[in-house]
Structure 1
Amino acid sequence: MRHVTDAERRARIAWRHALAPAARLDSPEAVTRAMTVLHSTEPATVHLSCWARGRDLRVADVERALHVDRTLVKQLAMRRTLFVFPRELLPHVWPSASARVAATERATIAKDVVKADLAQEGQEWLDRARREVLAVLADAPEGLTAQQVRLAVPMIDVKVSVSPGSSWSASRILTHLGLTGHVVRGVNTGHWRTSRPRWTLTPDWLGEVPAPTSAQEGYRELVRRWLGTFGPGTEDDVVWWLGATKTIVRAALRELDAVEVSLDGGSLGYLLPDDVEETPDPGAWVSLLPVLDPTVMGWKAREFYLGPHREQLFDRNGNAGTTVWVDGRVVGCWVQDEAGVVHLRLLEQVGARARKALRAEAARLTSWLGGVRVGTVYPSAAMREPVVPP
């Protein structure tokens, strides 16, 4: 059986994730395909993930792909997380990962509606709300904001209390319509750091809409792309990332003829059958990655790149803050000061070569941001600590 060491897995990150200088890519589309998807829970993550992997990519390049060419599309999917997908992957995610979350959302919304005494039949209420929203959006080909939809559809102009301090309103219906592929998050009416989309009918945004595949085909394609980006990984890694079941993942691995490989620590991992060759040494590299970057969030078992730093770099809900990388290992985080200057917070000692490279990368990011400060609702414990120069 082929054995893949932790060192080789880190080398694969350098090449597959376009983080080594020689591996960087020329477009947001190429970056997104390399990573399968980009996390978009925080809008700035998309731009910063592209910056880290691109050759001279600008904010305007990402905005062009998202809002002009529309080759990249935001879609809620795995683990009820918002991602940016390559447009061609949408027909595979709609009937699989998105449909799975949509079913859960439908049951939750229906239950909440009955609990709030909005209707005796929550499912019927949701179906009527969906129809009314779609009818309103049909008359607005350029899309409407959530507030505009709420005002146009009085039945969803409500506030549904779920528990003390927790409630939802019109956006929950739009979220469900997005999960089922009927609407998409279109033009962003705010700054690139914020999310204020015009909700738009999918045909109005994408033009010709590709027909969805089957759930089985969709899951298989998602697992295939995950293996290409993150392999080797364990069955548990794929189940966690996909937000699916072992039955679904095992079927996909079997249909793909995935090859079993042994990993350091005794785990069993998988690779695609045409991807078992040894990975060359990428040389020295450093990287600064944003909150919830797809690399740090790609596996359930993260010790081979995260080491002992999980508690300092993830919040209690498993959300990753910013990360600083040296040769495939996470060694700290980065923050900005009031002027927007990027500073490093290292959790372990690194060599002189790495310190110099990290300072240069921090200066490069500071220049790229041009004084724009990127906030987050997911600061890690390390991000809250005083800044310590490398």
Structure 2
Amino acid sequence: MRHVPDTERRSRLGRRHALAPAHRVDSVAGATRAMTVLHATEPATVYLSCWARVREVSVATIDRALYDDRDVVKQLAMRRTLFVFPRELLPAAWGSASARVAETELRRMAKDVEKAGVDTDGQAWVHRSREAVRAAIAEHPDGLTALEVRALLPDVAVTYDVTSGSVWNHSRILTHLGLTHDLVRGLNTQHWRVSRPRWTLMEDWLGVVPPASPAAEGYAELVRRWLHSFGPGTETDLVWWLGSTKSAVRAALSDVGAVQVGLDGGETGWLLPEDVEPLTGDDEPWVALLPVLDPTVMGWKQRDFYLGSRAGELFDRNGNAGTTAWVDGRVVGCWTQGETGEVRVHLLEEVEDGPRRALQVEADRLTRWLDGQRVGTVYPSPAMKSHRELPVPAAAPRAAPTEGSDAP
């Protein structure tokens, strides 16, 4: 069994994730495929993740890929998290990860509806509400916002408090229709740092909607893509990333013919059979500044090979990653913005002069790209909070976010 040391894993990270300058890509779709999917829980993450990986990119370029060309599409999937998918990968998620979450959400909604006294048959109420919302949106080819759905369907948009905080049922119905790929988050009615989509029928958005893959095929394709982007990784990593079961992961690893390799620390990792040979060629030094919830930071559960002992400083208590600063495949700090929008790097360890200067060059490049716009977050890490420069909403985030919690 071949051994893959942490140094090689970090080298793979720079190449496969399009972070090392020589390996950056030319399109938003290319950046998305490099990562398998992009995190989209916070809308700004998509834009900043692309900025870090695409050679020449603007907000308008990313908007065009999302809303005009539609070769990348938002989809709720693994771990009830919102991602941007390459269009061709959607059927795999629809039949596997999204379907799994949809089943859980249906049971949860039905139980809450009954507990709140809305209806004695919760599942029947959810299905009637789904049909009502879908029919309303079908009459509006450009889609409807959640507020417009709420105004049109007061019988669906009931509110109740059976868990933690008031819940608007129409929002949950919209989310469920997205999981079952009846609807999609379409045109954004706000600027790129805030998501207020017009919910749209999937067939109106894509034109032709391909069938969902059978569950086993879908999981196998997601695992194949993940191994190319993130491998070698462990079974534990994959179970967490997919939000699935060990049996589903083991079946998918078998279906793609994955090969075992040894990892530092004694763990067993997996690679695709065509990807077992060591990397060739020398790596140029590289640095990167990545946003909150970037997929490179969030790709594994077992993260020591790039985080060391810094997880407590760089992740919030629910497992959501803040901003990160990287040197040659290792996280060495975070970044925030000053009052006028300038990007500032904050190191958590000693860094040599060369990488330190390179990080400052990246900070200056990002400052110019943002052009005075400040990016807020509800997931600041302890390291970010210690500097108090990035704007944080006055209201504290929920202990368990309603969508996109990434706690291991």
Aligned to 2:95: 95
Question: Cα–Cα, structure 1 residues 149 and 326, in superposed 2: closer, same or farther, change >3 Å?
Answer: same
SS in 2 for 1:8: helix
Which residue identity is paired with 2:241? W
Which residue identity is paired with 1:286? V
Count of residue correspondences: 388
Query: Is the CA contact 2:203–2:209 (under 8 Å) kept in the aligned structure 1?
Result: yes
SS in 2 for 1:127: helix
- Deviation beyond 2 Å, 4+ runs, structure 1: 162-169
SS in 2 for 1:265: coil
SS in 2 for 1:156: coil
Q: Distance in 1 between matches of 2:237 and 2:246?
A: 10
- Map 1:276-295 to 2 at 5 A: 276-280=276-280, 281-295=282-296
Q: Distance in 2 between matches of 1:56 and 1:237?
A: 32
Deviation at 1:73, TM superposition (A): 0.5
SS in 2 for 1:140: coil
Deviation at 1:152, TM superposition (A): 1.2
SS in 2 for 1:155: coil
Which residue identity is paired with 1:35? M
Aligned to 2:125: 125
Aligned to 1:354: 355
Which residue identity is paired with 2:54? G
Q: Distance in 2 between matches of 1:166 and 1:150?
A: 15
Which residue identity is paired with 2:361? A
Aligned to 1:269: 269
Deviation at 1:387, TM superposition (A): 7.8
Deviation at 1:167, TM superposition (A): 2.5
Deviation at 1:158, TM superposition (A): 1.1
Query: Is the CA contact 1:162–1:168 (under 8 Å) kept in the aligned structure 2?
Result: no
- Map 1:1-390 to 2 at 5 A: 1-280=1-280, 281-386=282-387
Question: Cα–Cα, structure 1 residues 137 and 2, in superposed 2: closer, same or farther, change >3 Å?
Answer: same
Deviation at 1:166, TM superposition (A): 4.5
Question: Cα–Cα, structure 1 residues 338 and 96, in superposed 2: closer, same or farther, change >3 Å?
Answer: same
Deviation at 1:168, TM superposition (A): 3.3
Cα-to-partner distance string for 1:11-33 (whole Å, 9 max, x where unaligned): 00000000001000110000000
Question: Cα–Cα, structure 1 residues 300 and 333, in superposed 2: closer, same or farther, change >3 Å?
Answer: same
Which residue identity is paired with 2:63? E
Cα-to-partner distance string for 1:149-173 (whole Å, 9 max, x where unaligned): 1111121121121224352331110
SS in 2 for 1:375: coil
Deviation at 1:309, TM superposition (A): 0.7
Query: Is the CA contact 1:345–1:387 (under 8 Å) kept in the aligned structure 2?
Result: no
Q: Distance in 2 between matches of 1:175 and 1:167?
A: 13
Question: Cα–Cα, structure 1 residues 164 and 3, in superposed 2: closer, same or farther, change >3 Å?
Answer: closer
SS in 2 for 1:353: helix
Query: Is the CA contact 1:65–1:72 (under 8 Å) kept in the aligned structure 2?
Result: yes
Q: Distance in 2 between matches of 1:160 and 1:141?
A: 30
Deviates more, 1:283-292 or 1:147-156: 147-156
Which residue identity is paired with 1:223? V
Query: Is the CA contact 1:344–1:387 (under 8 Å) kept in the aligned structure 2?
Result: no
Q: Distance in 2 between matches of 1:22 and 1:164?
A: 48
Deviation at 1:5, TM superposition (A): 0.2
Cα-to-partner distance string for 1:169-219 (whole Å, 9 max, x where unaligned): 311100000000100000000010000000000001110111111011000
SS in 2 for 1:340: coil
Aligned to 2:393: none
Q: Distance in 2 between matches of 1:313 and 1:325?
A: 12
Cα-to-partner distance string for 1:328-381 (whole Å, 9 max, x where unaligned): 000000000110000011100100001110110000000000001000000000
Cα-to-partner distance string for 1:128-150 (whole Å, 9 max, x where unaligned): 00010111111000000001111
Deviation at 1:386, TM superposition (A): 3.0
Cα-to-partner distance string for 1:312-333 (whole Å, 9 max, x where unaligned): 0000000000000001000000
Q: Distance in 2 between matches of 1:350 and 1:260?
A: 34
Unaligned runs of 5+ in 1: none
Aligned to 2:406: none
Deviation at 1:308, TM superposition (A): 1.2
Query: Is the CA contact 1:343–1:387 (under 8 Å) kept in the aligned structure 2?
Result: no
Query: Is the CA contact 2:320–2:379 (under 8 Å) kept in the aligned structure 1?
Result: yes
Query: Is the CA contact 1:186–1:198 (under 8 Å) kept in the aligned structure 2?
Result: yes
Deviation at 1:57, TM superposition (A): 0.9
